[in-house]
Amino acid sequence: MSFWADFWNALTGIGTLALAGATFCVIRQGQRQRRDGECQHRDRFKPICLLAPYGGVDAWNRRGDLLEAMPPAPENPSCGTVTIRCVLRNVGVGPALKLRLKFRLLDMNGWTSEPWELSPLGAGETCGSDAAPLLVPFPIHEQFNQTDFAMLIGKPWEIWLEYEDVFGRQFQSLHSKSLLNSDPATFTWTAPVPGQEPKAVMRPIPWFTYHEGPTP
């Protein structure tokens, strides 16, 4: 009798372990499905904001022409105005909340302007046009004086859009004046030719790139 009792006890133990393992797998699968469902639900409300040139195509070697700096008015010498010759669009499927625009100047150790607050932009909505361009106030102070402002258009600038979705997730859209990436770590090299050294090739920088998460 002890043999059969031990045998059935062993089978019961094995069955219990198998049931526990199956239960664990079902729970994990259910959690994964819930996470996937939550991600899909959130993606249905994801905003994607960008600055589109009026012509609808990348200006490439004329990206600098997309900005115009207007000097401060005599009655307000501490603030200039930058015109952006682009349409601000939300091409995503959800509203862009807490929308802000700022400039980053790469020749000034990445100095970043004070963010300009904009109104929320719903899915499919636009702001700015050729007849009514985007006019961005640009404060002038010790860190960015009138000489810097006068040279703004010629500087290697970036325009950042920061915004959130209805769930509080953060997004950034980067627009770059630079055409080529000068970071040696990103270079590609030509195939070696007998008697010649390989040449470094800089990668092109797109006008628009999109990031999810806080500003790097």
42 in a structural domain: no
More confident residue, 104 or 16: 104
pLDDT at 61: 82
Contacts of 186 (CB under 8 A, 6+ apart): 202, 203
Angstrom distance (rounded) from CA 91 to CA 94: 9
Query: 106 pLDDT band (50/70/90 cuts)?
Result: very high
Angstrom distance (rounded) from CA 124 to CA 47: 9
Write phi, then psi, for 10 (nearest 5 degrees): -65, -45
Q: 88: domain range?
A: 49-212
Contacts of 157 (CB under 8 A, 6+ apart): 67, 103, 104, 105, 106, 177
Contacts of 179 (CB under 8 A, 6+ apart): 60, 61, 63, 204, 205
Question: How many CB atoms neighbour CB 212 within 10 A?
Answer: 10
| Shared-domain flag, residues 55 and 159 | yes
165: closest CA among 95, 88, 81? Answer: 95
| Shared-domain flag, residues 76 and 170 | yes
168 in a structural domain: yes
Contact 121, 101 (CB under 8 A): no
| Shared-domain flag, residues 94 and 27 | no
More confident residue, 21 or 103: 103
| Shared-domain flag, residues 112 and 205 | yes
Angstrom distance (rounded) from CA 68 to CA 87: 15
| Shared-domain flag, residues 130 and 153 | yes
Segment 112-159, tens digit of pLDDT: 999 999 999 999 999 999 999 999 999 999 889 999 999 999 999 999
| Shared-domain flag, residues 137 and 204 | yes
pLDDT at 177: 93
| Shared-domain flag, residues 202 and 176 | yes
More confident residue, 109 or 1: 109
| Shared-domain flag, residues 72 and 165 | yes
Buried b (16+ CB within 10 A) or exposed e, 42-69: eeeebbbbbbbbeeeeebeeebeebbee
Residue 8, pLDDT > 80, answer no
67 in a structural domain: yes
Beta strands in 46-122 (DSSP E): 49-53, 67-70, 79-84, 86-90, 97-105, 111-112, 116-117
| Shared-domain flag, residues 127 and 57 | yes
| Shared-domain flag, residues 21 and 98 | no
| Shared-domain flag, residues 20 and 99 | no
Number of domains in the chain: 2
Q: What does the radius of gyration of the chain's CA atoms come to, in whole angstroms?
A: 28
44 in a structural domain: no
118 in a structural domain: yes
Residue 92, pLDDT > 60, answer yes
**Any bridge partners for residue 67, and if so which?**
84
More confident residue, 48 or 181: 48
Burial of 149 (0-12, 13-18, 19+ CB in 10 A): buried
Provide the Cα torsion 39, 46, 103, 74; round to 10°: -140
106 in a structural domain: yes
116 in a structural domain: yes
pLDDT at 29: 67
| Shared-domain flag, residues 23 and 104 | no
